[in-house]
Chains A and B, each alone.
Chain A
């Protein structure tokens, strides 16, 4: 009995392994193709799409790494993502604090207004937003992207944070108040540190959302100096249309920050997305 069971299980899981490996191969092939293709020249790429390069050419990668525009795009994307996240999470935390711990007239109305924001598709507002940003002179200004992204990030962030703030017992607030803490003091010194896991989750969501945003920067930025990475990739593809190997190298290098961030923040990302998904 004791050694029969594992045997049975092993036979049972063999097809599962096969399926998982096949799906895994299909997921990995495009990325490996790009990774190896970046080390080939174009003539070899069209004759030998898969095999290892006959000669490892590093010029495609080093050219991209040596170009100012790539690094400027990485910097622009990083800057916009970080500031967007600070604004989104900061404003949401303040609002969520009020929604979670104050009773006042109109509270449910305001909260419903924000939750209704989950229903507003971004694409619907893009034209008026463009006109609005142009009126305020915010085109080709990172602030135009940051503020818009933050505004659209508010609903989900407020909903998640409010839920978390509510779960912190009222006794803690009473104790803090008796010790002479103001509302803001309680918020800043006690609530926010306690809410660190929730803050991490919504921050990761905001960073990824901003990093991958394409439609808004596409509309707002016309000057190359302010391009983010997605805009740069699209432009690079247009510019080097026939130089596939070089585009592949660019793609691989552009993947590195996103995949690196995924590796670091995996738990928060997955937790945040599943929480965000079911709350949306």
Chain B
């Protein structure tokens, strides 16, 4: 009844409506957008700008905004610092190890679990599970396992007459850290590859096999190229993550022994919170930001360009 009487009325109304609805529309837009915008600007955009600003001051982090302007001194000091040079070296080592060892391993396991083998659902759940555990749980667990004297790893390996100092020795600490990272993160990359593999139509694989391609040839010439976009994204995420690596290192080694596993984020926290040199620490964060940004821009421009173009043509614009 009500709809019958209201319906025609509503249809006749539009003529005077626009003025009020237009204002109403703006109020709606503002009310819906502002809460997110305010929070985002206050806690993401502004702190980024403050970090940029603070990086050219000598500042202990107290008493309003910094006033002791020292130009680029923090940066020159940073670039001549031995610890920072080591941080960059560690970043390079971890990125190379990830790209050359961890990701191919993840890809191989993803291809394995794409086969019809018994228990593959269980393996998927199992391999991905460490990714769900916090870095702190992983870190503490492995710091106990890799402990030099009482740790499980050495107790087991001593049976074969082979022990290592793992995290306690500057020579073995980076490989050990990488081992833990692989335990925790390879399942994540495996899942991305599995999802990417599912987007490849099986007809293409079957067609290659009908043409006489063996398993390896099918993978090399059909599956791998079609997984290209997925692999490129997985490398991208891996590098961006490694630039900011903090939790795992902080828990496992604290950056030691004698800075031999320190990352930029650990150095930054050390100067910022333990020694209250917020200006200098801000310079470190600015360099981290610049590295991420330059890497992202260069990578998207030169490596992912084809993928992004594909996305634009198929979806009519990036999301």
B and A form one assembly: yes
Residues from 25 to 40 in B contacting A, C-beta threshold 8 Å: 25-26, 28-29, 31-33, 35-37, 39-40
Q: Check if A184 is an interface residue, CB within 8 A of chain B.
A: yes
The answer to whether B289 touches A127, judged by C-beta atoms less than 8 angstroms apart, is no
- State in angstroms the CA–CA spacing of A150 and B286 once bound together: 23
Q: Check if A58 is an interface residue, CB within 8 A of chain B.
A: no
Interface size on A, residues (CB 8 A): 93
- A102 and B61 in contact, given A124-B288, A269-B132, A277-B233 (Cβ under 8 angstroms): no
Residues of A within 8 A of B (CB): 13, 16-17, 19-20, 23-24, 26-28, 30-31, 33-34, 37, 45-46, 49-50, 91-92, 94-95, 97-98, 102, 104, 110, 113-114, 117, 119-132, 147-148, 150-152, 154-155, 158-159, 162-163, 178-180, 183-184, 187, 208, 211-212, 214-215, 219, 229-231, 233-234, 237, 244, 247-248, 251, 254-255, 258-259, 261-262, 266, 269-270, 273-274, 277-280
- A151 and B43 in contact, given A123-B285, A215-B246, A259-B132 (Cβ under 8 angstroms): yes
For the complex of A and B, the 10 pairs showing the least CB-CB separation, nearest first, are A151-B43, A128-B47, A128-B50, A125-B47, A212-B134, A230-B136, A95-B36, A124-B285, A274-B195, A94-B32
The answer to whether A151 touches B115, judged by C-beta atoms less than 8 angstroms apart, is no
Mark contacts of B106-130 with chain A using CB atoms, 8 A cut-off: 1 yes-contact digit, 0 otherwise.
0001001101111110010111111
The answer to whether B134 touches A214, judged by C-beta atoms less than 8 angstroms apart, is yes
Contact with B129, one of A114, A262, A274 (Cβ below 8 angstroms):
A262
- State in angstroms the CA–CA spacing of A192 and B152 once bound together: 50
The answer to whether B28 touches A27, judged by C-beta atoms less than 8 angstroms apart, is no
Q: Can you give 23 contacting A-B residue pairs, CB < 8 Å? A: A19-B109, A20-B112, A23-B123, A33-B145, A34-B141, A34-B144, A46-B155, A49-B156, A91-B35, A94-B31, A98-B32, A110-B33, A113-B45, A120-B48, A124-B51, A125-B48, A127-B272, A128-B51, A128-B54, A130-B61, A230-B135, A230-B137, A258-B133
- State in angstroms the CA–CA spacing of A158 and B37 once bound together: 11
Mark contacts of B167-204 with chain A using CB atoms, 8 A cut-off: 1 yes-contact digit, 0 otherwise.
00000000000000001000010011001000000000
Contact with A123, one of B113, B115, B237, B244 (Cβ below 8 angstroms):
B244
Contact with B10, one of A37, A50, A180 (Cβ below 8 angstroms):
A180
Q: Which residue of chain B lies nearest to A157 when distances are taken between CB atoms in the complex?
A: B36
Contact with A230, one of B54, B125, B134, B191 (Cβ below 8 angstroms):
B134
The answer to whether A129 touches B137, judged by C-beta atoms less than 8 angstroms apart, is no
- State in angstroms the CA–CA spacing of A124 and B244 once bound together: 9
Contacts of B43 in A (CB 8 A): 125, 129, 132, 147-148, 151-152
Q: Which residue of chain A lies nearest to B281 when distances are taken between CB atoms in the complex?
A: A127
Residues of B within 8 A of A (CB): 3, 6, 10, 25-26, 28-29, 31-33, 35-37, 39-40, 42-48, 50-51, 54, 61, 109, 112-113, 115-120, 123, 125-130, 132-137, 140-145, 147, 150, 152, 155-156, 183, 188, 191-192, 195, 230, 233-234, 237, 240, 243-244, 246-247, 250-251, 265, 268-269, 272-273, 278, 281-282, 285-286, 288-289, 292-293, 296, 319
Contacts of A229 in B (CB 8 A): 134
Contacts of A183 in B (CB 8 A): 25, 28
Contacts of B29 in A (CB 8 A): 98, 102, 104
- State in angstroms the CA–CA spacing of A45 and B147 once bound together: 13
Contacts of A113 in B (CB 8 A): 40, 45
Additional pairs, 15, CB under 8 Å, beyond known A132-B46, A274-B195: A24-B126, A94-B36, A95-B37, A102-B28, A119-B296, A120-B289, A127-B272, A127-B281, A130-B61, A151-B42, A212-B136, A230-B136, A251-B140, A262-B132, A273-B188
The answer to whether B44 touches A120, judged by C-beta atoms less than 8 angstroms apart, is yes
Contacts of A151 in B (CB 8 A): 39-40, 42-44
- A127 and B292 in contact, given A110-B37, A208-B132 (Cβ under 8 angstroms): no
The answer to whether A178 touches B10, judged by C-beta atoms less than 8 angstroms apart, is yes
- State in angstroms the CA–CA spacing of A259 and B138 once bound together: 13
- State in angstroms the CA–CA spacing of A259 and B118 once bound together: 23
Contacts of B130 in A (CB 8 A): 27
The answer to whether B319 touches A16, judged by C-beta atoms less than 8 angstroms apart, is no
Contacts of A127 in B (CB 8 A): 47, 51, 54, 61, 268, 272, 278, 281-282, 285
A133, chain B: closest CB distance, angstroms: 9
B169, chain A: closest CB distance, angstroms: 20
- A123 and B268 in contact, given A24-B126, A30-B141, A132-B47 (Cβ under 8 angstroms): yes
- State in angstroms the CA–CA spacing of A131 and B128 once bound together: 37
Contacts of B125 in A (CB 8 A): 266
